């Protein structure tokens, strides 16, 4: 039987300190499965829904709805991480950055992971029941592309585009959750968010270029090669253009588009200072998109309140 000391070499440092380190030892691998200590993914999943809610305009239940969407984003991002790790457990074991994940290293059981996945999905169901019927139907329609995402890196050089479809879906949910219908503005918001996700996840994928190439995993970072910065720039410009069109659909004035200027400056800073061959810099730039999401939220709030 393995002893704790014998297993220390497969336990990442993040489980011996911080939030996860404060938990009982037996629970820590499962907390790692849902990335409890790394909320960036939940933030990135949450923002498009929050944008859509405030862009739809003032509503008495607006802030409660945003709170529900925040809970839903955390639960579904957690569920997505567990599902992704279940599907990718063999590939993860071959990649330096992911080889210590709980399933890849054997620290968490497959049965326990499925139980955790169901638990997170039930929390998502509770959130779903708080929404209007149109928003519920649209949210449920996301399940198929979500289920397909972990397989995309095996069949296309652009899994980031599929992630964009999935991680932006809440933009289609927030608006009808407020208004009860889908309109042009949230469709444009969604389209812009897809390009934003492709951009920031290409930056994220820069960390794994060598390992991905060795194990046969495909990514936009590999597809773009030395043109990665140009590709991210093009995605961010497309996102800003589509978001400007969404703002114009709500308030057809040039001044409304000016609300995007702080975000445009931030995204320009990302690509101007990005070091494609520096994994630490790529991770820092990727994480800075939490702040980009906040800037977009404030822009949507201004336009929504004045539209």
Structure tokens at 206: 């820069």
Task: Give the homologous superfamily in CATH for domain 27-306.
Answer: UbiA prenyltransferase (1.10.357.140)
Q: Would you write out the chain's pLDDT as a tens digit for each of its 307 residues?
A: 334 443 444 555 566 667 888 889 999 999 999 999 899 999 999 999 999 999 998 776 788 999 999 999 999 999 999 999 999 898 888 877 788 889 999 999 999 999 999 999 999 999 999 999 999 999 999 999 999 988 888 888 899 999 999 999 999 999 999 999 999 999 999 999 999 999 999 999 898 777 666 666 788 888 898 999 999 999 999 999 999 999 999 999 988 999 999 999 999 999 999 999 998 999 999 999 999 999 999 999 999 998 6
> Which pTM was predicted?
0.89
Domain ranges (residues) in the chain: 27-306
Distance CA 105, CA 154 (A): 21
């Amino acid at each position: 039987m393995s002893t704790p000391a014998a297993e220390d070499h497969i336990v990442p440092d993040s489980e011996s300190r911080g939030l996860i380190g404060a938990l009982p030892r037996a629970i820590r691998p499962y907390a790692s499965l849902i990335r409890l200590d790394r909320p960036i993914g939940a933030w990135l999943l949450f923002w498009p829904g929050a944008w859509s809610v405030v862009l739809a305009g003032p509503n008495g239940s607006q802030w409660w709805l945003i709170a529900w969407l925040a809970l839903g984003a955390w639960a579904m991002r957690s569920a997505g991480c567990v599902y992704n790790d279940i599907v990718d457990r063999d590939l993860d074991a071959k990649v330096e950055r992911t080889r210590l994940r709980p399933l890849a290293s054997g620290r968490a059981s497959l049965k326990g992971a499925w139980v955790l996945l169901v638990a997170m999905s039930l929390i998502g169901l509770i959130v779903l029941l708080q929404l209007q019927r149109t928003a519920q139907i649209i949210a449920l329609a996301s399940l198929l592309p979500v289920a397909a995402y972990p397989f995309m890196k095996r069949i296309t050089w652009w899994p980031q585009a599929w992630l964009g479809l999935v991680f932006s879906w809440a933009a289609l949910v927030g608006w009808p959750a407020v208004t009860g219908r889908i309109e042009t503005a949230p469709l444009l918001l969604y389209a812009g968010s897809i390009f934003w996700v492709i951009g920031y996840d290409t930056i994220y994928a820069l960390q794994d270029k060598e390992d991905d190439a060795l194990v046969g995993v495909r990514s936009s970072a590999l597809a773009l090669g030395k043109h990665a910065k140009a590709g991210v720039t093009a995605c961010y410009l497309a996102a800003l253009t589509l978001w400007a069109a969404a703002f114009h659909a709500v308030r057809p004035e040039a001044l409304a588009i000016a609300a995007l200027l702080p975000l445009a400056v931030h995204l320009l800073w990302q690509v101007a200072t990005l070091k494609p061959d520096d994994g630490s810099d790529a991770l820092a730039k990727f994480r800075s998109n939490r702040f980009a999401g906040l800037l977009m939220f404030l822009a949507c709030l201004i336009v929504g309140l004045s539209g």
